[in-house]
Amino acid sequence: MNPTFVLAGRLRRDYLIPPEGRPLIDVPGGDLLYAAAGLAVWEGAPALLARVGEEYPQEWLKTLARRGWDTRGVQILAEPLDLRYFLAYLDPHTPQTTNPVSHFARLGLTFPKALLGYQPPLRDDLRQPDPASPRLNDIPADYLEAHAVHFCPLDYPTASRLMAAFQGANVTTRTLDPAAGYMQPRAWNEVRTLLQGLTAFLPAEEELRALFWGQTDDLWAMAEAVAACGCELVVVKRGGRGQMLYDSAARKRWEVPAYPARLADPTGAGASFCGGFLIGYQQTYDPLEAVLHGNISASLTIEGSGAFHALEALPGLARARLESLRGIVRQV
């Protein structure tokens, strides 16, 4: 049976000092897993497309498979890949990705030996393919028969090739969470090629503002300019301020407030939103419903730490929150 949902992105080995609670040392992470969990909140089963090295814990992949997630698209290379990623918070709104030694010392914690020699990844998202990004020949043939595909933040060369492959295979629903490295004015022509024929573009507010730096401060004008490149829907993720939705076909604008969840750890909220959006859109073909689904996925993610926290919610909680949120959406 062909997968319904394909998610393409990167897997990581996370070292996380959250705003509250105990540090998470060498745990499964990456935008790909947070997006998958955001989708699985609504009982969807994602198929994953990624690359890992030979040292990546095989038990982690087995755990994903036990959840019913399709891992055939996770290619295990016969070489090491440094997938370590460090993130610390001084407060819930101030993430830091550098100098892990000082953060552990600040908290009086023993520095993990596994982080020795760690350097924050320096990637050229515009020109240089990342070694951990999936390649065209990694795609199982039946993934190209999926109903919907989401592209997590990937370097531009990889994103453009993968998107062309799924578009050429007539996968009708295609959504993109852009990488910050190419969201800049000098890369506008490259971004424009990614937008052509896209179902939904899902940038964070700061990424969209970076793309239009020096041109306009009007987020709605930015959304319209993006949509004019051939993208049906533009959703601006605004963290604690919720989302803005621009539907180019209907020429409608919506503002969706963030569900009032308790903020424990914002890590992965944007990626989780994207997974919820994808399944919400595929189930209803209603852009606003898709945003509401993503909003609730993110609300569950931020109430704890780790890629799978959203899946620990009480049965029925996501649906109850969805009904509650519908009543406070406004069209502008």
Q: What is the CATH number of the domain that holds 240?
A: 3.40.1190.20
Q: What is the CA radius of gyration of the chain?
A: 19
- Taking only the tens place, the pLDDT of each residue in 85-124 is 999 998 888 899 988 999 999 999 999 999 999 988 776 6
- Taking only the tens place, the pLDDT of each residue in 264-282 is 999 999 999 999 999 999 9
- Taking only the tens place, the pLDDT of each residue in 36-50 is 999 999 999 999 999
**pLDDT at 123 (0 to 100):** 67
Backbone torsions φ then ψ of 158, nearest 5 degrees: -70, -45
Residue 37 lies in a domain: yes
**pLDDT averaged over every residue in the chain:** 95
Residue 154 lies in a domain: yes
Distance, in Å, from the CA atom of 316 to the CA atom of 239, rounded to the nearest integer, reads 24
Q: What is the DSSP letter of 190?
A: H
Residue 23 lies in a domain: no
Q: What is the mean pLDDT of residues 56-63?
A: 97
Q: Which residue has the tokens 């016969």?
A: 78
H helices then E strands: how many in the chain?
10, 14
Token pair recorded at residue 162: 């993968």
- Classified as helix, coil or strand, 238 is coil
Backbone torsions φ then ψ of 147, nearest 5 degrees: -80, -30
Residue 263 lies in a domain: yes
Query: Given phi > 0 = left and psi -120 to 50 = alpha, else beta, which region is 217?
Result: alpha
Backbone torsions φ then ψ of 236, nearest 5 degrees: -100, 115
Residue 207 lies in a domain: yes
Residue 121 lies in a domain: no
Q: What is the mean pLDDT of residues 62-83?
A: 96
Distance, in Å, from the CA atom of 144 to the CA atom of 79, rounded to the nearest integer, reads 27
**pLDDT at 128 (0 to 100):** 85
Residue 282 lies in a domain: yes
- Classified as helix, coil or strand, 16 is strand
Residue 192 lies in a domain: yes
The residue segments making up the domain with residue 289 are: 31-80+131-331
Percent of the chain surpassing pLDDT 90: 91
Total tally of structural domains belonging to the chain: 1
Token pair recorded at residue 332: 């502008």
Yes or no: say if 52 and 132 are a contact pair by the CB < 8 Å rule.
yes
Q: Who wins on pLDDT, 263 or 121?
A: 263
